[in-house]
Chain A
């Protein structure tokens, strides 16, 4: 039967090249745009290197300290004290990692003094490398002993190693000068794509407790407020529930211990899925999120508008097949059978268009990736050396991507073919037979 459809479609393409090219190009454009959106969100949501545990990763980036006397509130990260007293002692968690937010890039000095590079750096702790599955080319991650002692060690990406040292091997033990400090390199990792925003950096160093604490705001008035963000890894949904209870207890104890400020976590810890769509801390449900509403609206427009448009093309096609349908009805074919056949034939066209659309989407994502991802990101970050988004094979050729294409093609086919085919098949047999070319 599939072979039959294929032959019929080939015949239709030969007979009416104009119709075929219009339909396939219209479908290809719609599917290409839809897939660009879908792949860009897939990259943010699916497990990709090194964020293989996204499903069980939770984030705590902010805390709100609400003044009890008036309506002033302070939204910020956590201080080192909060990290050590509240988060590092959590029981219902597999791993806890804290990092200091760094809005601007850091400067790395080239060894021969020939210049400086601005790079993306993360000031974190050894648990970071247990949450994210980095592939080490050489050496190992930051060690607990070095972290406790405050020793200046760094893990660098292979690309940065090649730029700075001219090679990514025999780097361990060498010195990297960054931000006026000399770091001993203890490991070299395969660089992640900058699209893996939670883990991407070119240099990973341990945060210095004293230095970080001195950067915190309102220290003394709000000793638990600072610039740290916390990432948590749980092993299951039950552990996550227990974790939330434990954090609620911490909040309750803090609020009971003083009456000047009230701590609110605003629904945190946030799952990875939720964090992709959450623009503001106040958005407690997915439907509140502007990002979700915009995405749904855009997907509807990208599928509906061309789909309805191409209804006209299908209607024209059906006009030329009215006599054929009439003859088949006289031989006993029911309307449902004919409708199914027309829709299935059209599905082949749609799949052809979908394949072209997918290839077009891949080309756009590979060749114009900086432009595409900047366009989809309302606040793109600084472009430091080597931070052009890397779109890897696992992002483009994942089975989920192909399933999504197939799903969108089915939806598109139904939108564009079902109504005109159904309307055309409603005509009485006699009228159909009397239609002349």
Chain B
């Protein structure tokens, strides 16, 4: 019944049984191509799996803040010596605030945040902590923590929205919950307490040998403090109000108004910021778009170079696969010229002849891919598939890349598509040459 169905509804050139017979008839020629397909499939897994994970994490997971509307201003000072009590009296902080106000007065700028101690996303100020539920000494996990200075419009500038707690962005930025409280992201709330609404619950933060408690004052939408990490277990803490303790190592994060292009803003203001946006000894040294900041962070961490290496390696393997397919099918040109001639003599069109050849190649690619993937599967049973760069991973994540079988099947689908496309391109080059020979000429050539 199956064979009847296949013969009625599937063109005979694509009939799997017939294709398999053709492949088996030329098994000695096809064995090398099959071996190559298995090796390329295996190598492609080891190279493309981490590349796909990195690509997915970078491009398909929302950052959680409005990076495409942000610019970063680097501050510096003209002198290294300051008047007595410059820091303690608050003059230093006042000068930084005045520089920020100058930027805020620009018509293109919606808001400005002072990122003290480089505490901004993809910056050096994102710290790592070990946190758990207060009272439970067992289940601590790694998370990121970001400090912000009260009253510096942190949440409005970055565009981070509150979810629970009844506090607005402005309230959160003003830190109206005390220095002993924190704001957590949704994912951290669920990870620690099993639910999203955790306002009022107590979190434990391990600092060396001490464990401090912190009350959760609010829950915000998930954000990714690093663009290359998929998970977003983050908490935010307001810095103490002691002005004398403020650091001069600060940057300004500018939130541009809707419709303003960061690149245009940067090119318009870069020549002017040093001379026009200073206050006291402070000057604005440089301004860059946030996408540049993110790219530079990834480049300096070596992530961009690793990613490009993987892509180049994958392109190299796939190009060689294509050449291998071309050479194998080209070898078959002579032997199958008669066969193609007979088909054409009986009325088969060039397209049908091509379809037969492509179908054989796709079946070979499928068999090679399955064997190569199975071999890689055995390797990853112990080592696991690529997890990307995820410091805050707990092992309980449920996205498709974190669950083994969905990760494997998803990446397998992508790899299979790429390999089939490459094999089809490789087959079509000699196949087109083969089917363009006239039936009379091809029938003159015998095996």
- Listed in ascending order, the chain A residues whose CB lies under 8 Å from chain B are 18-19, 22, 25-26, 29, 33, 107, 109, 113-116, 118, 179-180, 302, 305-306, 309-310, 312-313, 315-316, 319-320, 371, 374-383, 436-437
With beta carbons under 8 angstroms apart, the residue of A18, A109, A316, A382 that contacts B300 is A382
Contact in complex: B80, A313 (CB < 8 Å): no
User: How many Å from the CB of B301 to the closest CB on chain A?
Assistant: 8
Q: Return chain A residues, CB-CB under 8 Å to B328.
A: 312
- Listed in ascending order, the chain B residues whose CB lies under 8 Å from chain A are 32, 36, 76, 78-80, 271, 274-275, 283, 285-286, 296, 299-300, 302, 304-306, 308-309, 312, 316-317, 319-320, 323-324, 326-328, 330-331, 334, 429-430, 433, 445-446
Q: Return chain A residues, CB-CB under 8 Å to B286.
A: 116, 118
The 10 closest A-B pairs by CB, nearest first: A312-B327, A115-B274, A313-B327, A180-B80, A316-B331, A375-B308, A309-B324, A378-B302, A26-B323, A375-B305
Contact in complex: B327, A316 (CB < 8 Å): yes
Q: Return chain A residues, CB-CB under 8 Å to B312.
A: 375
Contact in complex: B326, A436 (CB < 8 Å): no
Q: Return chain A residues, CB-CB under 8 Å to B330.
A: 18-19, 22, 313, 316
A-B contact pairs, 23 of them (CB 8 A): A26-B323, A107-B76, A114-B275, A115-B271, A115-B274, A116-B76, A118-B286, A180-B79, A180-B80, A309-B36, A309-B323, A309-B324, A310-B327, A312-B331, A313-B323, A313-B327, A319-B334, A374-B299, A375-B308, A380-B299, A381-B300, A383-B296, A437-B445
Contact in complex: A310, B323 (CB < 8 Å): yes
Nearest A-chain residue to B333, judged by Cβ: A316
Contact in complex: A378, B445 (CB < 8 Å): no
Contact in complex: B433, A374 (CB < 8 Å): no
Q: A18-B429, A18-B433, A312-B331 are in contact. Are A114 and B317 (CB under 8 A)?
A: no
User: How many Å from the CB of B55 to the closest CB on chain A?
Assistant: 16
Q: Return chain B residues, CB-CB under 8 Å to A29.
A: 316, 319
Nearest A-chain residue to B77, judged by Cβ: A180
Contact in complex: B324, A312 (CB < 8 Å): yes
Q: Return chain A residues, CB-CB under 8 Å to B324.
A: 309, 312
User: How many Å from the CB of A25 to the closest CB on chain B?
Assistant: 8
Contact in complex: A380, B305 (CB < 8 Å): yes
Contact in complex: A380, B302 (CB < 8 Å): yes
Q: Return chain B residues, CB-CB under 8 Å to A33.
A: 316
Nearest A-chain residue to B29, judged by Cβ: A312
B32, B36, B324, most chain A CB atoms within 10 A: B324
Q: Return chain A residues, CB-CB under 8 Å to B327.
A: 22, 309-310, 312-313, 316
User: How many Å from the CB of B398 to the closest CB on chain A?
Assistant: 33
Nearest A-chain residue to B306, judged by Cβ: A378
Q: Return chain B residues, CB-CB under 8 Å to A18.
A: 330, 429-430, 433
Q: A22-B327, A309-B327 are in contact. Are A379 and B308 (CB under 8 A)?
A: no
User: How many Å from the CB of B389 to the closest CB on chain A?
Assistant: 14
Contact in complex: A116, B308 (CB < 8 Å): no
With beta carbons under 8 angstroms apart, the residue of B76, B274, B319 that contacts A114 is B274
Contact in complex: A26, B320 (CB < 8 Å): yes
Contact in complex: B445, A22 (CB < 8 Å): no
Bound complex: CA of A436 vs CA of B296, how far in Å? 63
Contact in complex: A315, B331 (CB < 8 Å): yes
User: How many Å from the CB of A426 to the closest CB on chain B?
Assistant: 16
Contact in complex: B275, A113 (CB < 8 Å): yes
Bound complex: CA of A19 vs CA of B323, how far in Å? 11
With beta carbons under 8 angstroms apart, the residue of A26, A107, A302, A310 that contacts B285 is A107
B78, B296, B323, B328, most chain A CB atoms within 10 A: B323
User: How many Å from the CB of B316 to the closest CB on chain A?
Assistant: 7
Contact in complex: A22, B326 (CB < 8 Å): yes
Nearest A-chain residue to B321, judged by Cβ: A309
Q: Return chain A residues, CB-CB under 8 Å to B275.
A: 113-115
Bound complex: CA of A22 vs CA of B329, how far in Å? 13
Nearest A-chain residue to B305, judged by Cβ: A375
Q: Return chain A residues, CB-CB under 8 Å to B323.
A: 22, 25-26, 306, 309-310, 313
With beta carbons under 8 angstroms apart, the residue of B80, B274, B320, B430 that contacts A309 is B320
Nearest A-chain residue to B332, judged by Cβ: A316
Q: Return chain B residues, CB-CB under 8 Å to A315.
A: 331
Q: Return chain B residues, CB-CB under 8 Å to A379.
A: 300, 302
Q: A22-B326, A315-B331, A316-B331 are in contact. Are A380 and B300 (CB under 8 A)?
A: yes
Bound complex: CA of A313 vs CA of B36, how far in Å? 14
Q: Return chain B residues, CB-CB under 8 Å to A312.
A: 32, 324, 327-328, 331
User: How many Å from the CB of B313 to the closest CB on chain A?
Assistant: 8
Q: Return chain A residues, CB-CB under 8 Å to B331.
A: 312, 315-316, 319
Nearest A-chain residue to B285, judged by Cβ: A116
Bound complex: CA of A315 vs CA of B333, how far in Å? 13
With beta carbons under 8 angstroms apart, the residue of A309, A313, A378 that contacts B305 is A378
With beta carbons under 8 angstroms apart, the residue of B271, B283, B309 that contacts A116 is B283
User: How many Å from the CB of B427 to the closest CB on chain A?
Assistant: 13
